[in-house]
A and B are shown apart, each in its own frame.
Chain A
Amino acid sequence: MSDPAGRRAPDDRRHRWRTAFDGLAFLAVLAGSGWLLFAGAGELHYNWQWYRVAQYLGRFEGDEFWAGPLLHGLGVTLELTGWSLSLTVAFGLAAALLRRSASWTGHALARVYVEIVRNTPMLVQLYLVYFVLAPILDMDRFAAAVLALALFEGAFAAEIFRAGIEAIPRGQWEAGRALGLSSYAIYRRVILPQAIRLVLPPLTGLAVSLIKHSALVSVIAVADLTTEGRNLIADTFMTFELWFTVAALYLALTTGLSMLAGWLERRLPLRGVGHG
């Protein structure tokens, strides 16, 4: 509600009536757009074949479950996300530490990396890695995809880590130095364990965006969910059904992760005091 003080809340019954009305109107709009979709497809003489979609997800033969191409694609997407997420954390942490280091070269390198990645489109980076770097280093497409995704998200992770590290009070540094710890030991034992808690919620957000960006690798024909969807569409011409299924699968994945992120945010105390 944008104007809490706008008007005295009318009596309860009117309010409830209004809520019900709005809910119904919303449902009507949803139904209307659904109908438009249907009518539009009807005009194209589109033949809806939802019953054929299930077999591409997976099927039971006796007691055994066989994953269909879409689930395989989902698996590849998850695998891709897992690998690149771990690399992302490595790149991000390295860039954040370099950026904070006293060395001028390190600082400049990290700065250049972050600026280049943040100011060019992901698609162009993917092409650069796949067409320029991959032939030089003899990488296959999966490795190229992982590297491109990790390089891209790493720049964003770097900023997250930097913010997390800088949020730790200076006193922690000073105390560490007073105890005679080296700066490696201070990072390893004092700063990073505390920073992790601050960094975890935005990192899950990053994982969500990583899943979404991983759809891009279908451009270089890595067999992820989007690629499988595109291939099936080319085979079966069930454009709408399959795209909606693919979108729903992504939606389920990202919404699940978002909820996890929300849960983590509520769960973890903001300034954890503990050994770490």
Chain B
Amino acid sequence: MLAVLFGLLGYVLHRAQSHFHYNWDWRLIPGYFVRHDPERGWILNLLGQGFLATVRLALWGGLLAAAIGGVMGLCRVSRSLFLRLLGRTYVELVRNTPPLVFIFIFYFFLGGQLMPVLDVENRIAEASPETLAVLALLFGRPELLPNFLSGLVCLALFEGAYVAEIVRAGIESIPRGQWEGAAALGLPPRPTLAKIILPQALRAVVPPLAGQFISLIKDSALISLISIQELTFAGTELAVSSGRVFEVWLTVAALYFLLCFGLARLFRRLEGRLVRHRGR
């Protein structure tokens, strides 16, 4: 089996050499991260900006998805049939349509109407320089903010459905005895949920949530298709404009890998510490 694998690998490399005279040139790549501007000194170039935008999308998207997912997850275990139906519809609709189709529908439909409602563009035009500086730090270039926001909401709505399922599983993993015990002590349902069930469920929910966060980073690549300017978008632009297709795509993939793999390792270590801590 190994021989076959290495044979295939060798064949690919051989073909790359003989049939396809591609001259590799990695020297340009660092320049796409940062470049020197005569007036402003060192500034981030396309790939650097794209990477930052992806990180921002991940952070804000994660928070928003956690909020949506938390609420919807609670709906799914609620006593009221109405809330359960609502949660179920949301989760099933999102999880059973392809991410791409969801994103396009959202983009054509909600994206076009949401932004006029929030009136973001006018507010930015009226904002003071200080607000703009804060916004730039938090969300990237202000002139791209409406674009960024619609991408963000889209991503969060999408991931929220998965978070909702994680939250539901977490709550349902708490033994019935906990509910019964609280009821025996005379606690009404709501305080039982808030004071007894949720604190315990939180522990069960953290590891899968961390995994979902990494999924969110990966799914954020899809947002590039509706022209949200993050890492993959920057990659597409660069590959086309510079012609260094191989190098650019390998770099983009490596960046995502570093981000996700690093986070996965970090989460695993934190989780290990959590388990040990609890064991004591």
Contacts and interface: CB of A to CB of B under 8 A. Distances in A.
Interface string B150-187: 00000000000000000000010000100110011000
A21 B80 CA distance: 10
Contacts of A25: 82
Contacts of B26: none
A239 B111 CA distance: 13
Contact of B85 (A4, A22, A119, A255): A22
A109 B179 contact: no
Nearest to A127: B249
A35 B214 CA distance: 36
A97 B12 CA distance: 23
A246 B104 CA distance: 11
Interface stretch (A58-66, A131-139, A194-202, A264-272): A131-139
A4 B179 contact: yes
B81 A120 contact: no
A244 interface: yes
B12 A133 contact: yes
Contact of B108 (A128, A215, A240): A240
B260 to A, nearest CB: 4
A29 interface: yes
Contact of B260 (A22, A119, A131, A214): A119
A217 B51 CA distance: 24
B218 A121 contact: yes
Given A247-B101, A251-B97, A2 B78 contact: yes
A169 interface: no
A250 B96 contact: yes
B81 A19 contact: yes
B221 A121 contact: yes
A268 B4 CA distance: 35
A102 B79 CA distance: 53
Interface string A123-159: 1110110011101111000000000000000000000
A229 B20 CA distance: 35
Contacts of A246: 101
Nearest to B78: A2
Contacts of A132: 245-246, 249-250
B24 to A, nearest CB: 12
Nearest to A248: B97
Contact of A226 (B93, B100, B112, B197): B100
Interface majority SS (helix, strand, loop, mixed), chain A: helix
Contacts of B236: 127
Contacts of A7: 189
A40 B260 contact: no
Given A124-B253, A132-B246, A243-B105, A6 B183 contact: yes
Contacts of A211: 98
Interface residues of A, number: 68
Residue among B5, B79, B96 facing the most chain A CB atoms (10 A cut-off): B96
Interface string A17-30: 01101110110011
Contacts of A218: 100
B145 interface: no
Nearest to B77: A2
A105 interface: yes
A259 B190 CA distance: 34
Contacts of A43: 113
Contact of B245 (A94, A131, A239): A131
A244 B105 contact: yes
A250 B104 CA distance: 14
A103 interface: yes
A250 to B, nearest CB: 6
Nearest to A105: B2
B67 to A, nearest CB: 20
A72 interface: no
A115 B261 contact: yes
B152 to A, nearest CB: 17
Interface of A: 1-7, 18-19, 21-23, 25-26, 29-30, 37, 40, 43-44, 94, 97-98, 103, 105-106, 109, 115-116, 118-125, 127-128, 131-133, 135-138, 211-216, 218-219, 226, 229-230, 239-240, 243-244, 246-247, 250-251, 254-255, 258
5 contacts: A2-B171, A26-B81, A116-B257, A132-B245, A136-B12
